[in-house]
Structure 1
């Protein structure tokens, strides 16, 4: 197994509900091509941690912060979609996402006074684990089929989001 390279950018936004935008670029390990990487369905972490908040974790208010995919990275309305299982969670339920041109963009939403540096570090750590786990499973032939898009699904979604995807620029400097 080769090294998986992950590059992060965080842009703080104080003028919107979205507290910040996070951009990620993932370079596959040696022996894995970009097309294979783009077929993998990843899952966003959820932050209903009773240790981080005094509000019960089975309510929407028990989420001190969250991370969400920009629209065209979401994997929804298909058998590969992954949805939140949190009770009474009405506003955000699609957790599955994919990479486009080796990238993912999402928002960080802060609902309490949790330290922003802590939030960004936690999101980076959790997403890094997710990328590493799924890519490793793929390389070992252990990735469940429900976590793999067909090439035609990737093409269809890329065509639908072509204009947005065309604006993606590499984060890595060669």
Structure 2
């Protein structure tokens, strides 16, 4: 995923400072994309140099508010329409799932999966609460609603996988 396009996408939603963008990454793109300040500010500089964003306001302590420009919108559209996403996944959770049954004894595997179930349940509850709150104030096609709905469904899939795997291990390896 491109930090450049993530920043352009957030700025297409509304102008923001680097600090506000960092907060957006943390609150709306949690688990999807992490942007550290040491990555974000240089990227904003490169986007400004390229004419994709512009400073629309300067405040105290050097605070700058950026907005996307027409060339920035065109670049974001081109990326969305023409560039195939990298669908490969580098996931520690997937790697652990692959290794679970070959490395751990039954009890340890069940303990790991039980931990995963608890994490996915807590995450689902938090995502659903955020979605319920947002649904009161936002339209059904708001980017936050669309992305959070995807997050809820992906979370449900992972939770179902963990619960099903617990049952498979119990059935295959015996015992309750």
User: Based on CA coordinates, which of the two structures has the bigger radius of gyration?
Assistant: 2
More helix by share: 2
More strand by share: 1
Instruction: Report the TM-score when normalising by structure 1.
Output: 0.29
Greater length-normalized contact order (CA 8 Å, ≥ 6 residues apart): 1
